[in-house]
Amino acid sequence: MPDLIGKSLGRYHILEQLGEGGMATVYKAFDTRLEREVAVKVIRIDNLAPNVLTRVRKRFDREAKALAKLDHKNIISIIDYGEEDGTPYLVMSYIPGGTLKERLKRKPIPWQETANFLAPVTRALDYAHKQGIVHRDIKPANILITKDNQPMLTDFEIARILKSEETLDLTGTGMGVGTPEYMAPEQGLGQKVDHRADIYGLGIILYEMVTGRKPFQADTPMAVVIKQINDPLPRPTQFVPELPKTVEKIL
């Protein structure tokens, strides 16, 4: 993907890169019409086969319209979308506080603090599920944090827009689209998923926050998926002995 810093996508002038993943690059941009800062997520199309690109663009248009209707205080709103030189992009509210991933420092967070922080995320997911939308990539990097320490869910759109029969193998391993450390077993196997996959991913985040570690770790993404499928959950009290049994039971 070419460097877009200093260039414009429609009315959005690109200022700096905020992050990059396998499916998209996120930029901080300035909306020249409304004179405000926004986040622009540019969808990577260079990894897609030409025979599926047209279908992905059509799906992008359809799903972007549906996702723009999500209206919840803990979900990042999509405020615009478009294409520039054939490359689709989404425009979202800019949240300057960073992500949950950046806040995790490999040490346990008190379970009471964790519960208070994740409660709004659970309500946001419940709202999205009732609209028939499954996130498919729940992970700390997709939970932004406002200046008031409020969590905001983002990236509903990427896995959903790119997920189709032709693009399931984006990982090159036959796995479903998502992040192996937070994937439900059926998602790791590339099977059809529903809202329960999101609940599983949220459970992994809860585990990671209260213990300071991910439950399943390995040297390769596929090895992590295999552990998700086959291994029992390591008991959280192994790492945090004072963790209440009720919290361990929930996990």
The residues that are catalytic are 137
Three-class SS state of 66: helix
Taken as a whole, the chain contains a residue count of 251
Backbone angles phi, psi at 206, to 5 degrees: -60, -45
Query: Given 3-state DSSP classes, what are the helix, strand and coil percentages for the chain, each rounded to the nearest 5?
Result: 40, 20, 45
Burial (CB < 10 A; 0-12, 13-18, 19+), residue 163, is buried
Nearest to 249 by CA among 111, 79, 102: 111
Vertex 1: Cα angle to 201 and 221 (nearest 5)? 30
- Do residues 90 and 40 touch, judged by C-beta distance below 8 A? yes
